Each structure stands twice: as structure tokens, then as C-alpha cells.
Amino acid sequence: MQSYRFIGDVAEIHGTPYKFTRFGQLVELPEPMAERACLEGACIIPAAMFDELGFDPADLKKYSRALLHSRAPAEFRAKADRAREVLRVYRETLRKQG
């Protein structure tokens, strides 16, 4: 099992018990399942990549839903944008390894 962070709003991995309900949610997944889910559209990245972005835990709790991001400080929004860029690069890397 590997640690991943969810960077979307609400989602699930169909056919599994895994459901994501908040931005920054930590989840442990088998690596092949996580990679397949990411390639199929799940907004998850390895936790280590997410942690490098330096989100404040209090901000993650306060702005756990994407709808609230517009009210978040500019620093939080910039980190969320970087997280989405990390996701894009991570997916591209998985596709190339495919």
C-alpha cells in the first residue's frame, strides 16, 4: 500500500470502497490500483509529492471542498494550482510508463 492525497472535490474509485470527500484527503491504496485510477481520471497524487507543496493542515481543513477555494488566501490557491500541475505531470509520467 502507498499513501496518496486527493486533490479534487468528491469522487470514488468505482467497484471499490474508496471514496474521496475532501481536498487533501490521505488514502492508502495499492499502487497498481492508484495508478490505474489516476489514469482513468481520479485526482490523486503520491502523498510525498503533495506534502512537498507545504499546505498548512489548518488550511486543508478550512478549505477542504473545492467550492471554498475561491475564499482561500492566495497562497493556498497557488499551492492548489501547483497540486493540479503535479497531477498533470504525474499522469503524463504514468502514461509514458504504461
Does the pLDDT value for residue 53 go beyond 80?
yes
CA distances from 80 to 16, 17, 71, 97 (A): 27, 26, 13, 26
Residue range 69-88, pLDDT digits in tens: 999 999 999 999 999 999 99
**Mean pLDDT for all residues in the chain:** 94
Mean pLDDT of all residues in 27-51: 95
Residue 34 domain boundaries: 2-97
Q: How many domains does the chain have?
A: 1
| Neighbour tally for 44: CB within 10 Å | 24
Give the pLDDT confidence of 12-30 residue by residue, as tens digits.
888 888 999 999 999 999 9
